[in-house]
Amino acid sequence: MKKLSLNLFKFFILVFFILCSSAHSEVKFVSSNIEKVIITDGDSLKIGKEKIRLFGIDAPELKQVCNHNRQTPSGVVKKIPYACGEASKSYLKEILNAPDYEIKIFCYYSKVDKYERLLAECFLGETSSINVNFEMVMRGHAVAYLRYSDKYLKAQEFAKKHELGIWKGDFEMPEEWRKKNK
């Protein structure tokens, strides 16, 4: 029994290393010119002919409406509807147009989704110091897409705690909104 357990342990270690090594065979995609970047929505963009889906995040859809909760002087909370999908897209554009950085976008990917988009983690700047995916979640313009990754969960908790972006009020998770509106 002890020998069987040891062999099973070795087998799982081997499988783990095989899976890890394939995960690190990522391809680096570089865009050196912002004019070649087209923002599709809050979690998708195009660089040249490549369609890119920001991995691990889910942004409100373009037609999605959310509510900001505003308290009136009398203490009543009013729900103010706004186009959160458009706001998310605008914020992604704002990040990519940050004037302080050499505008180069580096997207690292290893998978393609069913729509032929690269599932990527993207960075802005020559030193790859600004993680675009993280920034979208941290500022409340996207949620951590927990079905695929929990990498941005702490950023989401920060945005929620500080009531940033969509967390200022009520909204439907983008995935749920898609199911009801397609």
pLDDT in tens, the chain (182 residues): 555 454 444 444 434 444 444 444 445 555 545 557 889 999 999 888 889 999 999 999 999 999 998 888 888 889 999 999 999 999 999 988 765 545 678 888 888 899 999 999 998 876 667 899 999 999 999 999 999 999 999 999 999 999 999 999 999 999 999 999 97
Whole-prediction pTM: 0.79
Residues shown for the chain: 182
HSE toward the beta carbon, residue 71, CA cutoff 13 A: 4
| Alpha carbon of residue 157 to chain centroid | 14
Residue whose entry in the numeric block shows the structure tokens 């998708």: 44
Query: Looking only at Cα atoms, what is the longest distance across the chain?
Result: 73
CA distance 102 to 118: 23
Question: Which two tokens mark 181?
Answer: 């509106």
For domain 27-172, the CATH architecture is Beta Barrel (2.40)
Residue whose entry in the numeric block shows the structure tokens 């099973």: 8
Nearest to 157 by CA among 147, 167, 172, 171: 167
